[in-house]
Every structure is written in structure tokens, then in C-alpha cells.
Amino acid sequence: MTHGPALTGAGAEPAPHHGGPHGKTIATRLLQGTVLVLLFLLLYAATQAVPRIHEGAGTIAAVGFLLLAGTLMSELVETLGIPHLTGYLLAGIIAGPHVLGLIDHHAVVDLTRANALALSLIALEGGAELKLSIVKNGLKSLTWATLLQSSVVLVVMTGVFFALRPFIPFLSSLGTSAVLGVALLWGVLAITRSPSAALGILSQTRATGPLASFTLTFVMSSDIVVVVLLATCLTIAKPLIEPGGVISLSEFRVLGREILGTVALGSTLGLVLAAYLRFVGKNLILVFLVLGFGLSEVMHYLQYDPLLAFMTAGFVVQNLSRQGEKFLAAIHGTGSVVYVIFFATAGAHLDIPLLRMLWPVALALAGTRALITWGAGRAASHWADDPPSVRTWGWAGLVSQAGLALGMAGNIARSFPSFGEGFRALAIATVALNELFGPILFKFALDRARETSAVPAATRPSMMPAKSEAT
């Protein structure tokens, strides 16, 4: 994961970032492009010569291929000022089952399961990057942004979805009240953000300043808001969608227990990790593997939110112990592998035929959501008296969506089988657009705000406050 942004104060103006490492000549780029083409040809020849490569060893081959192809693609798109994450996505899309078919559905499913490790590391890093001093300094801004981005986006996107009902096929058999209930669920889906995309862009650009700090704190703290609103809207929507259904307050008690249990488990895990770092501090890669694969499954079984639990654990290690920087260094030691695999797999998983079929409605929903996010962001920044860079670009890091939105769509599909598959299909198409264009927009915003860095990653600390602010 290289290094995260150094969230220093706004006083120092960082050097502008010019889109990639310095000293890379045209010959270097041509060589990278040639190697990338050869990789695709090699995998194509292998799948033709050994058709059963997709089984068993095919998944291992897919991991190696996505690592190499994703890295090379990210280097090439970097020359256009496009973020690395988009390069990873493009490599996965091109090699995936819906374009060239070099990686089949079986391998994609296996890789998606392996993403539990990536998500756990991303959440641990995000929590550990949230120093308490940073959260306190941006509390007013965070409060206004959370209030407006949650309420305004939810209400307006509910209305937009309801207005578009003649163009959404799976709503044709539903009555007005049922459509209103489905629209409410879509409104909740619209307020989800992508912590993985935000952290990936911040890690690549090593951004420093108010915009980077605001985006990090907002995106990483929004998960709990989304969980509460989803449970609330599911409770309200159920009697609208299913005649005879009633609102049950017991579901809110269950939700409260789940959130408290998740935070308690995450806090305990954080203290255990801090103690391990203090007294042992070895074989941390093995510890991360156990957490990513083993503990994630246990949390799912207990109906706890792994993302929130791991984020809480990282926050505890950083703020309630002296092991925060050692912990971050261990996570960064995994390199960029986590992001390459996570987003390349996401690209391979994108259903291109489905996107082609639903793109007009998906584009309308994604575009409206971006517009409302911009408006809510401008209003929140005005009332919070944010710095100019946050007023202008604070909304840009909130457009990306990824795993959390798709997971919510899957839960809604299972809860309402009468329209669930259609809802999930439209969600996949819409999230695909936000996943493709959101990271590009956020990197563009950081560049325009002059918060990205040209200093080599090896010389940069990870989101450390300026020395004058250190505690």
C-alpha cells in the first residue's frame, strides 16, 4: 500500500503532483505496453492450449496475471493523469469473463472470496490513519457533511428513483406504495461511499491537506451511519412493499446490539493487536491472514460488520496505544498488492452486458447522485466554514462506490425476492459507473487543490501530523 497521505495542516503548500513517477521515458512506457500485450497473449495461449486451466491452478494463475497486468496498466494510464485504481479496474475488465474471457467466472468468484483479506487490511489501515486529533479538528465539518450528505442525498435520490419508475422494468408490476418503498431503499444505497477507493487514491497520491483529511474522516466514519439508515429504511419499506407487513421496533434493538457488539469486538481486537505488537511484533503477515480469512468469516456468522470492526480495531491501536506507526508500517509492508488484487478483481466482476443493457437508467441515477452530492457538499462546507479546497472539492471523494453498496444490494435482493434480482442488477450497473469515474474525479480534485505530492513515497511518512502538531 506504499504510503498514505501526510495529513499536515493547510499552511504548507505541497508541490503539485504530475501524474506519476519522474524519469519515465517514452521508451519505458512503450516497453511496459509491450509487456502488457505479451501478458494478455500468453494467458490467451495458455487458455487455448489447456482449457481446464480455469479449474484449480487457474485461480492462482489469475492472481499472478492480475498483479502484473494491473500494475502495468496503472503505469500506462498514469501518463494520462488517471489514478492507478482505474488501471487495475481496466485490467480486470479486459481480462474478465465479459470481454476477453481470459479469467472465467469460477476464478472471479474464488478471487472475490479472497478479497476478505484485502478489505480487512484496508479497514485496519483506515482506522489506524484516523488520529483522534484529526477527528477533533474536523468535527464541525464532519457533522455538517454527515447530516446533509445522508439526509439530502437519501431524500432526493428516493424522489429521482420514483420519478424514473416508467423506465425501470422490474417496477412495472408493483403498485405506487411498493414503488415508493423500493425507491426508499435505493435512496439508502445512494449514500454509501467507498473507503477502499478513497484510501487507494490517498495512498497513491500521498495527498496532504484539508481535502485529504476531510475525505478520510468522512468516508471512514460513514459506515456506521449507512448501517443504521439501512435498518431503519428496511423497517419502513417492508409494510409499503409487502401488504400486511408491520413496523417492528424489535429490529432496532437487534441493530443496536449488532452495532455495540461490532464496536466491542473491534475494540477488543485492537487491544489484542496492540499487545501483540508491543510484546511480540513478529510474523504480522500471518496475523493479517488469520484476521482477513478466519475472523472475517466468524464475524459474518455472528452478523457483525467486519469493515466496522476492523476499522475500530485500527483506531484503537492508533489512539489507545503507542504502536500506531509500527502497525501502519506493517500494513504498508504488504505493498500495493492489496489494492491491485481488490480492484482488478472488481473489474473482472463487472457485468459489461448488463451495464450495456441498463446504462441509460444507471447513467441518470449515477449522474444525479453526483450532482446532489456536489450540492450537499457545497452547502455543508459553507455552514461549517471549511477551507476553500474543501468547499470546492470536498464532494469529489464521496462519489466512488464499491463493495459496501453491492453488499447492501445483495441483502435487499435476498429480503425482497419479488423484485430483488432486478434491483441488484440496476445497482451493479450504477455502482460500476461510480466505481470507474469516482476515483478519477477524486484524484483530479486532489491535483487541482494542490494537495498531491511529488516527493517519492519512500521518503514520506504515513498520514503523520506536522511536528508542531504532534502529541
Which CATH code, of 2.40.110.10, 1.10.10.10, 2.40.50.100, 1.20.1530.20, is assigned to 117-336+357-469?
1.20.1530.20
pLDDT digits (tens, 9 = 90+) for 298-311: 887 777 778 788 88
Confidence at 370, pLDDT banded by 50, 70, 90: very high
Q: DSSP letters along 403-463, please?
A: HHHHHHHHHHHHH-TTTHHHHHHHHHHHHHHHHHHHHHHHHHHHHHTT----S-GGG--SS
Q: Which of 250-254, 380-384, 459-463 has the lowest mean pLDDT?
A: 459-463
CA distances (Å), 397 to each of 215, 251, 431, in order?
6, 32, 15
pLDDT at 2: 44
C-alpha cell at 260: 455495540
CB 294 within 8 A of CB 116: no
Confidence at 55, pLDDT banded by 50, 70, 90: low
pLDDT at 145: 92
Q: DSSP letters along 250-315, please?
A: HHHHHHHHHHHHHHHHHHHHHHHHHHHHHHT---HHHHHHIIIIIIHHHHHHTT--HHHHHHHHHH
Q: Which of 16-25, 214-223, 344-353 has the lowest mean pLDDT?
A: 16-25
**Residue 124: is its pLDDT beyond 90?**
no
The domain spans of the chain are: 26-113, 117-336+357-469
**Residue 410: is its pLDDT beyond 70?**
yes
Confidence at 465, pLDDT banded by 50, 70, 90: very low
Q: How far apart are CA 80 and CA 89, in angstroms?
A: 16
pLDDT at 14: 39
Average pLDDT, the chain: 81
Confidence at 254, pLDDT banded by 50, 70, 90: confident
Residue holding cell 411498493?
178
Q: Which of 75-79, 157-161, 342-346, 396-400 has the lowest mean pLDDT?
A: 342-346
What's the average model confidence in pLDDT over 155-182?
A: 91
pLDDT at 211: 94
**Residue 22: is its pLDDT beyond 70?**
no
Q: For residue 146, give the 3-state DSSP assignment.
A: helix
Q: For residue 245, give the 3-state DSSP assignment.
A: coil
Sign of CA pseudo-dihedral 23, 27, 32, 35: negative
What's the average model confidence in pLDDT over 42-64?
A: 70
pLDDT at 260: 85
What's the average model confidence in pLDDT over 71-95?
A: 86
